[in-house]
Amino acid sequence: MVIPSNYNDLHNHILALKERDLLIEVDRQIDKDSEMHALVRWQFIGGMKEEERKAFLFTNVVDGKGRKFDIPVLVGGLAANRSIYSVGMGCSIDDIQTKWDNAISNPIKPKFVDSAPCHEMIEEGEILSKKGHGLDALPIPISTPGFDSAPTLSAGNVITKDPETNVQNMGTYRCALKAPDRLVVRMATRVGGAGGYQHYQKCQKLGISEMPIAIVLGCPPYVAFMGPQKLPIGVDEFTVAGGLAGMPINVTSAKTVDLTIPAEAEIIIEGFIDTTKVEPEGPFGESHGHIALEEYNMPMRITTITRRKKAIVPSYISQVAPSESSVIKRVAYEPLFLRHLRDENNIKGVKKVSLHEPLTGLLRVTVITCETNMPRTEIWRALYSAAFFKGDCSKICIAVNEDIDVDNADALFWAISYRANPTKDIQTLDHRGQGHGPKREHGGEEDSSLLIDATMKSPMPPLALPSKEHMEHAKDIWHELGLPSLTVKMPWHGYSLGAWHQVWDDAARRATDGDYLENGKISIELSQSNLKPESKLDPDTGLPEKNN
């Protein structure tokens, strides 16, 4: 069944990835419980560049007992790198922020359809509890083999609704399989936590013992991206997805719960969360990079599972960053930070905001790139604004200039080492919650923030590397000689940091032209008597600086 639309469903998205050489199809038999995520993980920890990472489509899937599944599994298919994410967004990487801004500002209501691809196959009733049926028929991978206690839905869009306003919320929460007809959902309970958890609390307050829920697996990327995106509470994500698509998203009614679901979804798991009791869930490798230990979370009773005839199961590669989930969050969060600082707080000198990804998983280190000569008061206003913008981010905030490669930790340490005076340029802020991480804020333990102004306070001499033109020429010779491939990071050439003069450029050019003797003739004419060694020369006058 095909519903006419001008946006890609997951199948068309996979074809688009294949056309752009961003997909690896694996026909070899792969164990979803012990091999699948470990295999894909290697492209994140094996020294590959982000642009070299790809989506994996597994078509010959078995479990730990050798049982075969007839449903393929897609891992890394939405955001193994920013290029894959941009394919799902239908725009270039550079245009992603503008597209999000436009979609949030110009939402489009969804379109209801009576028949939908997600209802081509329906399993309900007593058969759901049988082995090999219900959830047990789905090839859900184990995300962190060796630590996780169950296959877990990591790429689901979980739909709930406010029992008072009937406004739906769609979030991405982990869901651990417990039985063919039962799983346990973990929704964030921290301060300002998940919209779904707020619905859960309202149900408890109103005496509603079962909360309707629908878990969507595999839907159009415009809809899938809504789960990780942080939109204001009360905003219907289908309308923002429509804003991304530039047209209404097709939706339909769930079969056994009063919820609206995406019509082109691959699989829909419907049921009810018991609001009167909780069940142990975990351990599970979480996106903050540590194993989340066993806790009590929300049991869900499955009432029906519907799917396409040729369904595909998506699974996020998460856990230690960089990962697919961190790419999704980074592409979504960085524009939010930039808009908050530059547009909402009117700090015009902010050029970009970057969330450090490897190991820290975006939530701990925020880097603000500031234009040269930005007033000190504005730099600190940006640091304070970033620290308080989002409760679980920005434990460490660093302000740098545009010449610093924010993805190069060595460059960040370099800026801190040479451009920050600890007694003047570093501050701490008390009374922050722990946020998402191995320590939990509901334990009452507070955290704090570290703010660092690592921008240049005055002109500095150039970086001591050959200039760009000479490094580029040398790189050509390197390739001509067939030497090993290079991984280039900034800074890879010298450049001016303000404390430089044309006369020194001229002298450097004479030196590289082999005319160093000419420089010697010039310098002897500038000789001085009765002057202390290491006294500075004023290049404008050719005389000693007056403060020598």
Looking at residue 424, what is its pLDDT?
A: 96
- Please state, in angstroms and rounded to a whole number, the distance separating the CA atoms of residues 469 and 548: 35
Backbone angles phi, psi at 120, to 5 degrees: -65, -35
- Please state, in angstroms and rounded to a whole number, the distance separating the CA atoms of residues 380 and 398: 10
Mode of pairing for the β-strands spanning 168-171 and 210-217:
unpaired
In this structure, what token pair is assigned to residue 321?
């960053």
- Please state, in angstroms and rounded to a whole number, the distance separating the CA atoms of residues 279 and 262: 29
Enter the DSSP assignment of 341. I
**Residue 282 φ/ψ region, left for φ over 0, alpha for ψ in the -120 to 50 degree band, beta for the rest:** left
Looking at residue 171, what is its pLDDT?
A: 87
Task: Give the closest residue to 383 by CA, choosing from 435, 420, 408, 418.
Answer: 420
- Please state, in angstroms and rounded to a whole number, the distance separating the CA atoms of residues 126 and 98: 49
- Please state, in angstroms and rounded to a whole number, the distance separating the CA atoms of residues 374 and 535: 31
- Please state, in angstroms and rounded to a whole number, the distance separating the CA atoms of residues 527 and 512: 24
Q: Over the chain (548 residues), what is each successive 10-residue block's mean pLDDT?
A: 73 97 96 94 87 95 96 95 94 89 92 95 95 96 92 94 93 93 88 80 96 97 84 81 95 97 97 96 81 91 97 89 79 86 94 85 87 95 91 89 92 95 94 63 72 95 90 93 88 90 93 94 93 91 86
**CATH architecture designation of domain 10-315:** Roll (2.30)
Looking at residue 3, what is its pLDDT?
A: 54
Residues with Cβ within 8 Å of 467's Cβ and at least 6 positions away in sequence, in order, are: 493, 494, 495, 508
Q: Tokens 């979480």 — which residue?
A: 286
Looking at residue 441, what is its pLDDT?
A: 47
- Please state, in angstroms and rounded to a whole number, the distance separating the CA atoms of residues 260 and 213: 10
**Contact 370/350 with Cβ under 8 angstroms?**
yes
In this structure, what token pair is assigned to residue 109?
């209501």
Backbone angles phi, psi at 449, to 5 degrees: -120, 150
Sign of CA dihedral 236, 241, 244, 248: negative
Where along the chain do the CATH 3.40.1670.10 domains lie?
345-453
| Alpha-carbon distances, residue 179 vs 91, 138, 314, 410, 545 (angstroms) | 41, 12, 20, 48, 80
Instruction: State yes or no: cis peptide before 322, omega within 30 of 0.
Output: yes
Q: Is CATH 3.40.1670.10 the classification given to domain 345-453?
A: yes
In sequence order, what DSSP letters do the residues of 499-521 get, joined into one string?
Answer: ---HHHHHHHHHHHTT-HHHHHH
- Please state, in angstroms and rounded to a whole number, the distance separating the CA atoms of residues 105 and 519: 61
Task: Give the closest residue to 56 by CA, choosing from 14, 98, 105, 109.
Answer: 14
**Contact 347/382 with Cβ under 8 angstroms?**
yes
Where along the chain do the CATH 2.30.110.10 domains lie?
10-315
- Please state, in angstroms and rounded to a whole number, the distance separating the CA atoms of residues 478 and 38: 35
Looking at residue 433, what is its pLDDT?
A: 64
**Residue 13 φ/ψ region, left for φ over 0, alpha for ψ in the -120 to 50 degree band, beta for the rest:** alpha
Enter the DSSP assignment of 342. I
Mode of pairing for the β-strands spanning 61-62 and 30-31:
parallel
Looking at residue 286, what is its pLDDT?
A: 80
Beta bridge mates, 350 = 370
Task: Give the closest residue to 37 by CA, choosing from 47, 26, 48.
Answer: 26
Q: Half-sphere exposure of 380 toward its Cβ, with a 13 Å CA cutoff?
A: 9
Q: Would you tell me how many other CB atoms lie within 10 Å of the CB of residue 251?
A: 22
Task: Give the closest residue to 262 by CA, choosing from 195, 325, 217, 293.
Answer: 217
